[in-house]
Chain A
Amino acid sequence: GNSVTQMEGPVTLSEEAFLTINCTYTATGYPSLFWYVQYPGEGLQLLLKATKADDKGSNKGFEATYRKETTSFHLEKGSVQVSDSAVYFCALSDPTSGTYKYIFGTGTRLKVLA
């Protein structure tokens, strides 16, 4: 079945460091891919998305490219801030069920130190 594998956390970085959070997927068909962020005490918010191969999603300095050849959608940011501390979830929208329900990775906690 479809699945998402995300790197284990927590990830601890100093402010202005480069961030990569790895995400790979297994899917039948052509899923859309998403990164959601959950700030402390808040709900899930869409960070960025890509709906087809080679698409690049970007928002708030974060980027991720839909790589069909490596079945990956790694999240990157060139210079993290303390305010980026949160849990990040990679997800795919399952096209095979007709519902387009999300299949989520386990989440990666990011802590950015000043």
Chain B
Amino acid sequence: GAGVSQSPSNKVTEKGKDVELRCDPISGHTALYWYRQSLGQGLEFLIYFQGNSAPDKSGLPSDRFSAERTGGSVSTLTIQRTQQEDSAVYLCASSLAAGGQYEQYFGPGTRLTVT
């Protein structure tokens, strides 16, 4: 079946611009996660959505970052006023539910380069 998809695969933007990154999780998966993979910080958690519950935003690095999940499916991560330190690969993952027995399935990522 279809896996997690993300778009765009690559994004180059100028410092100060806003960007939107999209994630389509696996159909039927209620839990959705965003992570960031960067050279300096490794893989770090950003935000989590589960059904209609309030998201866990504890990993967002600044208030320039926000995300939403519409209809319990597609999610969009928005970065406002991008900075060079935002350059990274942004990964989306989904799982059937939130629980230790459920593995997360990762998308291919969006490589963001801020010039």
Residue A83 is within 8 A (CB to CB) of chain B in the complex: no
Contact with B along A90-105 (1 / 0, CB 8 A): 0101010111111111
- Residues from 37 to 71 in B contacting A, C-beta threshold 8 Å: 42-45, 48, 50, 56, 58-59
- Residues from 61 to 92 in B contacting A, C-beta threshold 8 Å: 91
Please tell me if the beta carbons of B35 and A98 are within 8 angstroms of each other in the complex: no
Residue A42 is within 8 A (CB to CB) of chain B in the complex: yes
Tally of A-B residue pairs with Cβ under 8 A? Answer: 61
Closest to A97 in B: B56
Binds B, one of A16-24, A27-35, A72-80: A27-35
Q: Which of A30, A42, A49, A89 contacts B43 (CB 8 A)?
A: A89
Q: Which of B43, B91, B100, B104 contacts A51 (CB 8 A)?
A: B100
Chain A residues within 8 Å of B59, by CB: 101
Residue numbers of B with Cβ under 8 A of A are 31, 33, 35, 42-45, 48, 50, 56, 58-59, 91, 93, 95, 98-109
Residue numbers of A with Cβ under 8 A of B are 30-32, 34, 36, 42-46, 49, 51, 89, 91, 93, 95, 97-107
- Besides the known contacts A43-B108, A102-B35, 4 further A-B residue pairs in the complex with CB atoms under 8 A apart: A42-B108, A44-B106, A46-B103, A100-B100
